[in-house]
Chains A and B, each alone.
Chain A
Amino acid sequence: MILVGELSLWVALLMAIWAATVSFAGGALKRRALVASGERAIHATLGMVILASAGLWTALFTHDFSIKYVASFSSANLPRIYTFTAFWAGQSGSMLFWCLILATYASLAVYFNRSRNRALMPYVSGTLAVVTIFFLATMCLGANPFERLDFIPPDGRGMNPQLQNPGMAIHPPTLYLGYVGTTVPFAFAIAALLTRRLDAEWLAAVRRWTLFSWFFNTIGILLGMWWAYVELGWGGYWAWDPVENASLLPWLVNTAFLHSIMVQEKRGMLRKWNVTLVVSTFLLSIFGTFITRSGIISSVHSFAQSPVGNWFAGFLVVAIALTAWLVTTRLKDLESKANLESMLSREAAFLYNNLLLVGIAFSVLWGTLFPIITEAVRGEKITVGPPFFNTVNIPLGLLLLLLAGIGPLIAWRRASVANLQRQFAGPLIGALTAGFVVVLFGMRDITAIIAYTFAGLVTMTIVQEFYKGIAARRSMYSEAVLPAFTRLIARNRRRYGGYIVHMGIVVIFAAFAGLAFKKDYDITLRAGDSKEIVDPYGRTWKFVSQGVSRYDVLNRQVTAVALDVSRDGQSEGVLTSEKRQHVDSRGAPTFEPSTEVGIRESFREDVYVVLAGVGADDAAELRVTFNPLVRWVWIGGALMAVGGLIVMWPQARRRRVESGYAAEMPSMNSPVRETELVEA
């Protein structure tokens, strides 16, 4: 099976080369037989990649330590679930995993479009095949997961304990589903550029794919944050590390596209811009992978420095050059079909939204690349830290939040004063109330006050939109509130799902703002010692040490401290924090000791206890952090995921017909919001 896997990797490469060649040839020569052969080769490539993956999984589960990858990332005593996830724990395996997802997507894209978008499909398959070739070639020639050792170690090196966490088991797959998912829209964009069929056709074909990749990218980022928070023990979830930035960049640009696509659908504007965004999202995904794999930018969580980086750099350069050439030679075909009519219009709000998202993306990219740029220009590496990202992105982020409150209230094309008065009264009251309440409760941090004010605005905007929609349904169909609510969402998934995503964003912003009030304490406790400290809400917490204990578990030695916790005299139970030394099946230590953070969660704040070390007389050295509102980050993330699912869910056919290329339709001259309501 292992040998079969190794061979199928090569066969897959040949298949993909065939698919690319005949697809492009078939498209150019308009030969159906060639195109069909290319599509079959795409499916065959998937089959071969599945075989290769089965080979690697077999090697992992049969503990074949003669395979370097298996020896490096698993061991005989590794739990089964992590033996399974070891597949993507290292460089070459994660490349194969990437390839597996890509081949699956390619196959699905070909299958779903077997009777649609036929003019584009040869080029779509061709482009997908070329990207697959890149990954397969990199594996076959650069980082082969089936590489053998010249000796057979009796046991593997094991998996890094920090990766042995449920979050880490799902974080990479979700992030990959998101990253790789950008390839299909990219392929459609390239096909549209090549064929000069740059109308609504390709846009309609990619919308669901973009949503899909956005959805998984969002979840992947949030899972990464959660993992960093509970596993790494530094008390936060985002540090502007290059690898984190790498996952954020495609997300930002993809989010921009999901907004600007609406402008093109409704008004036929932003055609060049949309192509550029789709292509950039893909390139940034590849760039992100490049950063994590090349070690070019020093990051705390990069893979080892490796030649794979050069492959990626080469691919990136070629891809950027080709797409730039394609876009610039087709600028004429991408002329806008309409102009901006008023600054007080939904289009303008979307334009600013895009400007801000891309501005944020640019500043993040700039900050991430700064050491490389300065080294190239001045010969010296200069780095920027979190303060840079915060000073730039907090104001831009707040403006974006403000727009989320304003945008949905303004009509398309041109808003009238009456429209504005009718729409803005409620949200303005919401904003002022929120701002007033937080100040009343003693908040003095100006940034946080602004954040909560804007959060109030957006919340009221969303509530008002739902209220109006429900009221309309109630009067039209005399439905009860709850059925009206669910049907409103069901009949208008894009719009109301989008609002739910916005609500998630509001909650997350509110949670971010709460972090401004976090408090750290370093305390030392012997058994029986106690210490009282004050949290950001002014409540007094008392920690009493039950002492340090040491014990062995199956694959680790644990040093733990248990604390009796009480708040304002009321018991809050016991909190334990551990240092773990993982051992292999012979009891020899593997990896560095790892920290197991003690977290007591609540809606107000997390109490986060890290055992830094144990001193003389078994004195536990602890760092206690009060992290306000952290739970709301995860709640907001869940809301975003739910909203994303609603938007993605397949819609009844009837709707799709009407939402097509509506810009030229005369009926669209009335503001779209009303037509949508009537239709609902």
Chain B
Amino acid sequence: MLYIPVVKPRTKFLAGGILVLGSAGYLMASSIQDTAVYYLTPGELSAKTAADPTFFETGVKVGGRVVPGSIKRETGGRQVSFVMTDGATNYNVVYRGITPDTFTDAVDVVVEGRLGRDGTFRATTLLAKCASRYENAPDKYKSTPGYRAATPGA
């Protein structure tokens, strides 16, 4: 059979495909470098900063629970401060911006920002993850103030 030495369309397509996927892969790798942040608990963050002080003033994401009664709002609600805990380690968090509707006592929050050397976490984003938002866990359900008020004696 006569062999014609031309580049087959299939090969061309594969080359193009590798080019497209390669650049996509490169974009993924480089933007992961730029935008990836550690997602830590308060305890892990304190261990990190103790081991390596450069973790102060470095952008991180921290997930914890709001200590009930610790939320202090500046007049209006543009700035809010609260204490976040994982049960063992606590951090003061200051956040400037509009808080989500779900942000109340004892909810789980995820904050993104930097921990200052003074021990205060300055958050640039605040997400409140409320487990009871769509689904009420039974225990939580019973300890909700609105629930008790609605069911005297229960």
Contacts and interface: CB of A to CB of B under 8 A. Distances in A.
Nearest to B110: A298
Interface string A133-164: 00000000000000000010111010010110
A294 to B, nearest CB: 12
A588 B16 contact: no
CB-CB nearest 8 A-B residue pairs: A613-B77, A615-B76, A588-B149, A621-B76, A615-B75, A381-B39, A304-B135, A391-B31
B101 to A, nearest CB: 5
Nearest to A351: B13
A215 B32 CA distance: 33
A363 B24 contact: yes
A447 interface: no
A153 B28 contact: no
Given A352-B20, A589-B145, A594-B101, A340 B36 contact: no
A381 to B, nearest CB: 4
A69 to B, nearest CB: 10
Interface string B109-144: 010100000000000000111111111111001001
A339 B10 contact: yes
Contacts of A300: 100, 102, 127-129
A89 B31 contact: no
25 contacts: A157-B136, A157-B146, A232-B100, A298-B129, A300-B127, A300-B129, A301-B133, A302-B134, A343-B16, A352-B16, A352-B20, A359-B21, A380-B38, A383-B37, A384-B32, A384-B36, A387-B35, A392-B28, A395-B24, A589-B146, A590-B150, A591-B146, A594-B101, A613-B77, A613-B78
A303 interface: yes
A341 interface: yes
B9 interface: yes
A392 B150 contact: no
B104 interface: yes
Contacts of A305: 131
A157 B78 CA distance: 30
A399 interface: yes
B36 A388 contact: yes
Given A68-B138, A300-B100, A343-B12, 12 more contacts: A72-B141, A154-B150, A298-B63, A301-B133, A340-B13, A351-B17, A381-B38, A385-B37, A385-B112, A584-B146, A613-B76, A615-B75
Contact of A384 (B35, B133, B136): B35
B131 A304 contact: yes
A141 B17 CA distance: 47
Contact of A616 (B10, B75, B154): B75
Given A155-B151, A343-B16, A589-B145, A383 B39 contact: yes
B20 A341 contact: no
A388 B37 CA distance: 11
A619 B78 CA distance: 12
Interface residues of B, number: 59
A612 B138 contact: no
A303 B135 contact: yes
B31 A387 contact: yes
Given A382-B39, A384-B32, A301 B13 contact: no
Interface of A: 68, 72, 89-91, 151, 153-155, 157, 160, 162-163, 232-234, 295, 298-306, 339-343, 345, 348, 351-352, 355-356, 359, 363, 366-367, 370-371, 380-385, 387-388, 391-392, 395-396, 399, 522, 524, 584-586, 588-595, 610, 612-616, 619, 621, 623
Contact of A340 (B10, B23, B130, B131): B10
Contacts of B32: 370, 384, 388
A399 B98 contact: no
B103 interface: yes
Interface of B: 9-10, 12-13, 16-17, 20-21, 23-24, 27-28, 30-32, 34-40, 61, 63, 73, 75-78, 98-104, 110, 112, 127-138, 141, 144-147, 149-151, 154
A153 B151 contact: yes
Contact of B24 (A232, A359, A380): A359
Contact of A355 (B12, B20, B61, B136): B20
Contacts of B27: 391-392, 395
Contacts of A621: 76-78
A344 to B, nearest CB: 9
Contacts, number: 182
A585 B24 CA distance: 55
Nearest to A586: B150
A291 B38 CA distance: 21
A305 B28 CA distance: 30
Contacts of B31: 384, 387-388, 391-392
Given A383-B61, A610-B98, A348 B150 contact: no
A256 B27 CA distance: 22
B112 to A, nearest CB: 8
A623 B149 CA distance: 34
Contact of A341 (B9, B38, B98): B9
A592 B21 contact: no
A614 B76 contact: yes
B28 A90 contact: no
A305 B133 CA distance: 12
A162 B150 contact: no
B25 to A, nearest CB: 9
Contacts of B141: 72, 157
B128 to A, nearest CB: 8
A359 B27 CA distance: 12
B101 A595 contact: yes
A65 to B, nearest CB: 10
A342 B16 CA distance: 13
A381 B110 CA distance: 13
Contacts of A234: 98, 100
Contacts of B24: 359, 363, 392, 395-396
Nearest to B130: A592
Contacts of B149: 584, 586, 588
A90 B134 contact: yes
B55 to A, nearest CB: 12
B104 A371 contact: no
A348 B13 contact: yes
Contact of B134 (A303, A352, A614): A303
Given A343-B12, A384-B32, A615-B77, A592 B145 contact: no
A591 B23 CA distance: 47
A359 B20 contact: yes
B103 to A, nearest CB: 7
B1 to A, nearest CB: 16
Nearest to A154: B151
A299 B129 contact: yes
B99 to A, nearest CB: 8
